[in-house]
Structure 1
Amino acid sequence: MSLMRLAYASEATFEAKPVEKGVEPHVARILMTSRKNNARGKLVGGLYYGNNRFFQYLEGDEDEVRKTYDRILQDDRHRNVVTLIEEPVADRTFSNWSMKYVPLSRDVQRFLESQGLQRFEPASFTSAQCEQMIELIRNSSHDQKLVNHDEARTVRETPQAFSPGLKAGLIVAGLCLLGALFFAGSML
């Protein structure tokens, strides 16, 4: 069995939708399908989605990697697919990941800043930048969390403790409680 590795970049053809359960719905479906197919084909690798762009890295049996890449090339959720790396490897470097997903993280932000990149545009990565991105994915500590790359929010922002809906509900409940206390007080 000959092993190979392949990295590609592509643009998403879908318009990003509001996040559900921490990840853009189209990306969540891609991840679920990829994890199932990659586990069956004994492929390992990682995916990063940001700025409506994908960077994906695959390792495994050459035939399985090529079959998977052919499916990606035919997938209408991708356009402008660019092969960044395609070469044999002696050993796997990703273990136990059918498809690791890396959300926007300080590591990715630092990587982009260190390279003088304003946006995540992997199709223009140099060979060295591809290797750094692969290493970043490999070493990510996000352990399969499904989190969306939210371009409107920077990694320096403090996460909100309550969602807007929960905040509104708490405000309404507080106002009702005050109203009830006021009404009860006026009855005395």
Structure 2
Amino acid sequence: MEDAHILMSMTYASRANPDVSANDFNEILQQAQVNNATNGITGMLTFNKDYFLQTIEGPRAQINRLLYSLIADPRHHDLQVIETRELKHRAWSKWSMNYASPTEKNAAIYLKYSTTIDFNPYLLSAEAAYNLMNELSDQHD
């Protein structure tokens, strides 16, 4: 493949379908970890009961294939790509999918980048979304 050497990241937001349960979410996370490891994808995911915010990184062709799968996934809707960028290095090379949820411990991080008291990734700039994911990830390293 011509673009196999081109590393990129993509950050997107989506709305969780109301019937997504904690078990469904755990299944999503486990499935992402297995599939991403197989496909050379790494990334960071945050989720509250309403929204997903995810940054994935890997070969451009793999990111595009994954995007089509994500769009077709019935567990969420209104997927919006916030940003894509070419990378020299992965930010989450050791995580097939790192995960952070809003907690009391990290609430200040969410508030630092949010425009409202409630986490809504659709209101984040591309820079704020990327910085939020990096800072949340730093807590897990």
Same fold (TM over 0.5): yes
Q: How many residues align?
A: 136
Aligned match of 2:11? 7
Aligned match of 2:47? 49
Q: Which runs of 5+ in 1 are unaligned?
A: 18-23, 144-188
Instruction: Check whether the contact 2:53–2:121 (CA below 8 A) recurs between aligned residues.
Output: yes
Percent identity among equivalent residues? 21
Structure showing greater radius of gyration is 1
Shift of 1:14: 3.6
Shift of 1:16: 4.5
Q: Which residue identity is paired with 1:39? A: A
Higher RCO structure (Cα 8 Å, ≥6 apart): 2
Q: Which residue identity is paired with 2:124? A: F
What TM-score, normalized by structure 1, do the two folds share? 0.67
Aligned match of 2:63? 65
Q: Which runs of 5+ in 2 are unaligned?
A: none
Q: Which residue identity is paired with 1:54? A: F
Shift of 1:124: 1.4
Alpha-carbon separation, structure 1, partners of 2:28 and 2:128: 24
Shift of 1:129: 1.3
Aligned match of 1:103? 101
Once superposed, which parts of structure 1, at least 4 consecutive aligned residues long, lie more than 4 Å away? none
* Deviation sequence 1:90-130 (CA, Å, 0-9, x none): 11111211011112234641123334521111011112311
Instruction: Check whether the contact 2:115–2:123 (CA below 8 A) recurs between aligned residues.
Output: no
Listed as ranges, the matches of 1:25-40 within 5 Å are 25-40=23-38
Shift of 1:63: 0.7
Aligned match of 1:136? 135
Deviates more, 1:53-62 or 1:132-141: 132-141
